[in-house]
Amino acid sequence: MEQTRRAARRPTISDVATAAGVSRAAVSKVLRDAYGVSEEMRSRVHRAIEELDYRPSTAARALRGTTSTIGVMLPLFRTSFFDDVLAGAVEELETSSYQLILAPVDSAHASGRRALEALSDRQVDGIVALSPLVEPTWLESFATRTALVELGRHDPSARYDTVVGDDVRGAELVMEHLLALGHRRVLHVTHHDPDLAHLSRTPPALRRATYEKAMTNAGLAEHIEVLETSFDDRRAAEALRVALEAGSRPSAVFAGNDDAALGVLRTLAEAGGRHGLSPRTVSVCGYDDTKMASHPLIGLTSVDQDGAAMGRLATRMLLERIAGREQPRHEVIQPRLVVRSSSREVDPGA
């Protein structure tokens, strides 16, 4: 068999038709299991497909209609929570005939729009996205063209669906827990993004507001202390280091997500001693219950909002929408507190 050096042209539906001695339309019908093909023809065509190693071109199909592909857009900024969401989406799609393509977004940058459009340019039949930076009005208009399910948005929309964790409830669970353990000097670590600063209903903003409210309600307003940093191990660690240097002495830390919590533990382990603190004397809580939280060497108390379930649900909703549903859906996932060894009663010596 002759092996050409360079890129043998991909066989097309015409090649298959010729090889099988039938028309292109016939091949197309076999391909799509359409009505009206004789058994004999079907097998002839299948044989030709095998022989030529033919694969239909998605691009050509896209030009005519749908692609059987859904797009997922997640920040590359990946905490394992996003992995869980993605895994859920993949799982949900396994039983369907849909393909999944993923558009990674470099940073939390405004590139969210670009990524959504890129996906849409590729004629995906629908999109599951986590794009907090894109404005609702823009999304509304985008969603008139492409079926869309947004993750992490607390405000429902008439045009797209939403799946979101109950961040207020989750944060309440954490605060009730810490206050019940006797803590008064509870520090909160939040994700601060200048582009996001004007939004009050993002998950980080709601967790923070709930923290502040809980502190105030407990008569601890004077102990409110918020570290504005990033949901990122290194940055959160650095922020806490600076705060400790400046004299901050929390007995407990509520970190807005697990990555930040890991950073908190990092600093407590590395530099805490210098200030009389350590992972064993400070109670730390995270959010998302990522894989590392459950590691016994970490043992991080965290809020589980089941990313995989969110991914599955969002995908299922998207398929519904593609199938024609018009009424928007807004689903709120109930969080659950998972208590581990990083939780401890307030140190009486402090």
Partner DNA sequence: CTGAAAGCGCTAACAC
Partner DNA sequence: GTGTTAGCGCTTTCAG
Shortest reach from residue 315's CB to DNA, in Å: 23
8 is a site residue for DNA (CB under 7 A):
no
25 is a site residue for a second copy (CB under 8 A):
no
Q: With CB cut-offs between 5 and 8 Å by kind, which of DNA, a second copy, none does residue 247 bind?
A: none
Is 160 in contact with 150 (CB distance < 8 Å)?
yes
Q: With CB cut-offs between 5 and 8 Å by kind, which of a second copy, DNA, none does residue 76 bind?
A: a second copy
| Residue 195 vs 270, nearer CB to a second copy | 270
**DSSP label at 284?**
E
Which token pair is 235?
């940055």
Which residues, 6 or more positions from 297, have their beta carbon under 8 angstroms from its beta carbon? none
State the binding string over 318-347 for a second copy (x if CB under 8 A, else -).
--------x---------------------
| Contact residue for DNA among 8, 60, 180, 242 (CB under 7 A) | 60
d(CA 195, CA 186): 27
For tokens 């404005």, the residue is 135
| Contact residue for DNA among 3, 5, 33, 65 (CB under 7 A) | 65
Binding residues for a second copy restricted to 69-128, rule: CB under 8 A: 69, 76, 78, 83, 86-87, 90-91, 94, 99-104, 106, 117-118, 120-123
Is 48 in contact with 54 (CB distance < 8 Å)?
yes
| Contact residue for a second copy among 37, 52, 62, 226 (CB under 8 A) | 62
Q: Which amino acid is at 82?
A: F
Beta bridge partners of 188: 226, 254
Q: Is 39 helix (H, G, I), strand (E, B) or coil?
A: helix
| Residue 14 vs 107, nearer CB to DNA | 14
Beta bridge partners of 151: 163
